[in-house]
Structure 1
């Protein structure tokens, strides 16, 4: 059930997030894409990397993804993506990306109404392109610098800008404020499950690319920075590669 009584809370939290990020943007050069590696926390990052390798090792071979029917994984992915579309629309709006805002809004409307609340990806059947973005990209568009590299427990490689983006994204989905419990948690739960399935399916490929190198930490760091910088260099309103 939709709860519109929380609208003031939505506006308050959203305004705080925008003001904080906007202040950070004021002191940064616009859209400067670094080419080197800024890793002043390498010692602590390597410890986290070793922990992440141990955790990933337990799922090597894509065990979880192979144990769960692909049809179920598809449903989880569809619902997670649909529940994330309002957040994508908000970030597209903040980036001045009219095309992306329209795509996210259209996909959410079509999949919610014709796709049985997102269970079926009806929007793709209507040739509506997929679109994805996050507050980390919003900060990039606003001119916030990449900052130092971090490796986070479980989540993995990131940068200071993307860490801040992940935190703000916890508050930028309007559905988090307009839906009652337990519906408000569907997006979070399915999103987490979708990430787990995705990482499980890619475990062998990632292991071969990273563990096969002489320095798996340096290889993982390079892979992430190159991929993320390439994603951010693409024009807004276009489909980026999956960031997971």
Structure 2
């Protein structure tokens, strides 16, 4: 068995164990709010405070503002397109795994056209053919087959996630070309995406600040966003006292690639 498969098997076993422990927790083991999706709330909340009050406030937000202010907009758009273009092969496979053959064909066309005529994805001629970007992650594949989110996770310096999302991200990293990209080029790619997406969240900051509990707001928005993705924009309707705020927030998130 290759080292890659050993690592994948070990991670899956570890994450599955965490998932089962979280799902089988008693009420006393659940988070302070009693949310069964968030059995690790006592750990997640301090990490959220660190992310929002320190990492974002003093590092990510200023860096994003400096990036937007000092880098040419067309160049920014180009390198952002290049970073996202590398996700297209994984989108092809993940669409095929869900039986979305039309979307898989579009992702294939996008990657081939943008990687050649579009100069490695700097330009996006595929959009002129009506082949809009629609990224599919392996976590969405799992969700489409009925696999639950698992316990909510707040990752230091990265933000909200879940066991299913982390398993999906791990698998996505082993698709070509992500599997052959070295550490530093991939770090630059991740940095470009983070700076660009942080700048696009600027309009949602006030909505977040006005929420009664920023931690709960972000958690609920995260789960709604995941459900939105799994159901391709048509999730089952559920009642929520914060429906209007979440709906507005999700509309904004939907515009972010």
Give the structure-2-normalised TM-score.
0.71
Counterpart CA distance in 2 for 1:209 and 1:232 is 25
Pair 1:39-2:38 in alignment: yes
Higher relative contact order (CA 8 A, sep 6+): 1
User: Is 1:228–1:243's contact at 8 Å kept on the other side of the alignment?
Assistant: no
Counterpart CA distance in 1 for 2:186 and 2:110 is 15
CA deviation after TM superposition for structure 1 residue 124, in Å: 1.0
Counterpart CA distance in 1 for 2:40 and 2:86 is 35
Pair 1:120-2:119 in alignment: no
User: Is 2:86–2:178's contact at 8 Å kept on the other side of the alignment?
Assistant: no
Counterpart CA distance in 1 for 2:61 and 2:158 is 16
Counterpart CA distance in 2 for 1:227 and 1:77 is 22
Counterpart CA distance in 2 for 1:191 and 1:88 is 17
Pair 1:56-2:56 in alignment: yes
Counterpart CA distance in 2 for 1:148 and 1:228 is 13
Structure 2: gaps (5+ residues)? 17-34, 235-252
Counterpart CA distance in 2 for 1:243 and 1:56 is 18
CA deviation after TM superposition for structure 1 residue 96, in Å: 2.0
User: Is 1:231–1:241's contact at 8 Å kept on the other side of the alignment?
Assistant: no
Between 102-111 and 78-87, the greater mean CA deviation after superposition: 78-87
User: Is 2:197–2:256's contact at 8 Å kept on the other side of the alignment?
Assistant: no
CA deviation profile, 1:191-230 (whole Å, cap 9, x unmatched): 431222211332x333212222221111111111122212
CA deviation after TM superposition for structure 1 residue 90, in Å: 1.6
Q: What does residue range 163-182 of structure 1 map to in structure 2 within 5 Å?
A: 163-172=166-175, 174-177=176-179
Which of the numbers 200, 218, 227 marks the counterpart of 2:225?
Answer: 227
User: Is 1:77–1:191's contact at 8 Å kept on the other side of the alignment?
Assistant: no
Counterpart CA distance in 2 for 1:225 and 1:235 is 13
Counterpart CA distance in 2 for 1:176 and 1:82 is 11
SS in 1 for 2:153: strand
1:144 alignment counterpart: 147
Structure 1: gaps (5+ residues)? 1-8, 25-35
Between 115-124 and 204-213, the greater mean CA deviation after superposition: 204-213
What RMSD in Å do the two structures reach over aligned CA positions? 3.2
Count of residue pairs the alignment pairs up? 213
Pair 1:87-2:90 in alignment: yes
SS in 1 for 2:87: helix
Distance of aligned partners of 1:121 and 1:90 in 2 relative to their CA distance in 1, 3 Å threshold: same
Which of the numbers 55, 71, 93 marks the counterpart of 2:74?
Answer: 71
CA deviation after TM superposition for structure 1 residue 60, in Å: 4.2
Give the structure-1-normalised TM-score.
0.75
User: Is 2:141–2:230's contact at 8 Å kept on the other side of the alignment?
Assistant: no
Distance of aligned partners of 1:176 and 1:157 in 2 relative to their CA distance in 1, 3 Å threshold: closer
CA deviation after TM superposition for structure 1 residue 164, in Å: 1.3
